[in-house]
Amino acid sequence: MYYFDYAATTPVKPPVAEAMVRALTAEFGNPSSQYPLGRAARDRLAADRAAVAGALGCRPEDLFFTSCGTESDNWAIRAALHLGRHRGKHIVTTAVEHSAVLELCKSLAREGYDVTFLQPDSRGRITAEQVESALREDTVLVSVMAVNNETGNVYPVAEIARLLQARKSRALLHTDAVQAFLKVPGEAFRGADLISLSAHKIGGPKGVGALYAAPAIQSKLVPLLYGGGQERGLRSGTEATAQIAGFAEAVRQRAARLSNILTHTAAMQAYARERLLAIPGLKLLGTPEAPHILCCTLPGYPSQNLVEDLGAQGICISAGSACHRGKPSHVVAALRLSKKEAAGAFRVSFGEDTAKEDVDALCAAVEAHRASRFPML
């Protein structure tokens, strides 16, 4: 198999699986229990929280575990709106957020919030100036993702944070860093008040994420779940110790080799880019600043057919975001492409195990697909 869908999910390696098995078996205690087995689970949880927080560059107490990136996004946005409820109902976000943010914002607009959806330019870029022009007195939340999951564009989150400060805006800044955490340097999204993470994009298991909340706002955050008071009373529910152990182990493994991984994925991306662009008609979409994502189009060759054809040969790529399951993607639509270009859009994404030979197989298969069919008019 040739796997080129690391932006959709990543494989769990043996050390990560072993950490999870330990948490499910020998260390199966409930972290709230008051005997040694419970204490051991509590200590493990504290060490795991410290590992993820350390890689993010925050204090362990600033990090709250959740069940996924989607949950982190939903919680962050609802909590920020609750916090700003006496100041206004204006939200600034982008038209190219992941559905976890976009669909919530659309629903909030139906509930009576005023949402500004910033449009990217034709290369997928969003600028801090766009955010600045959209800001108002009653803006309570700016939510801009750190790396776009379909195009690989890196958005200027740190610059937006500085801008909000310079403008003395009281709007909170949330960033969905699911495709950025340990995939691009952390400076890219420094300064956000709320940061969403997910484990399964970096070698951890599915079904666990985290939300960073800046110290200044923690005491004012509205709990996501009421109950037994776990996660400092903000997200009750017995901690998913095995999922969290897997998340933390994936972070340790990746953080230890981060610069090698980033250099390697960037090299694979550059090689794939050069080879794919040699295919007649193939165009690059977006601005692939993140080293793990490349978005392309083969106009006249619907990507659904390409994905199926390559899939049958054991080559896994994605027609836009995996979350769209064949429907035209809102990100590709926002790039204002022709119908043929939009229909031909596909994403390849890279990881530490991607080898040059894999890229050769991918490029040969895309070229063979093109050569074996008539383009659709």
Q: Which residues contact 164 (CB under 8 A, 6 or more apart)?
A: 135, 142, 171, 173
Amino acid present at 160: I
Does 145 bind ligand PLP (CB under 6 A)? Our answer is yes
Amino acid present at 258: L
260-274 b/e with 16+ CB inside 10 Å = b? ebbebbeebbebbbe
Does 202 bind ligand PLP (CB under 6 A)? Our answer is no
Q: Tokens 């390409």 label which residue?
A: 306
Q: Tokens 């709250």 label which residue?
A: 64
Interacting stretch for ligand PLP, rule CB under 6 A, among 20-28, 158-166, 172-180, 223-231?
A: 172-180
Q: Where do runs of H (alpha helix) occur along 278-355?
A: 303-312, 330-334, 339-343
Interacting stretch for ligand PLP, rule CB under 6 A, among 23-31, 55-63, 66-74, 364-372?
A: 66-74
Does 163 bind ligand PLP (CB under 6 A)? Our answer is no
Q: What angle do CA 104, 152, 270 make, to 5 degrees?
A: 165
Residue 323 annotated to the active site: yes
Segment 81-110, which members bind ligand PLP (CB under 6 A)?
A: 98, 100
Interacting stretch for ligand PLP, rule CB under 6 A, among 67-75, 114-122, 213-221, 237-245?
A: 67-75
355-369 b/e with 16+ CB inside 10 Å = b? eeebbebbbebbbeb
* Residue 262 vs 293, nearer CB to ligand PLP: 293
| Binding-residue pattern over the window 350 to 369 for ligand PLP, x denoting contact by CB under 6 A | --------------------
Does 68 bind ligand PLP (CB under 6 A)? Our answer is yes
Does 70 bind ligand PLP (CB under 6 A)? Our answer is yes
Cβ-closest position to ligand PLP: 69
Two tokens, residue 272? 């794939």
Q: Which residues are catalytic?
A: 323
What does the binding site for ligand PLP look like in residue numbers (CB under 6 A)?
A: 68-70, 98, 100, 145, 149, 176, 178-179, 198, 200, 209, 323
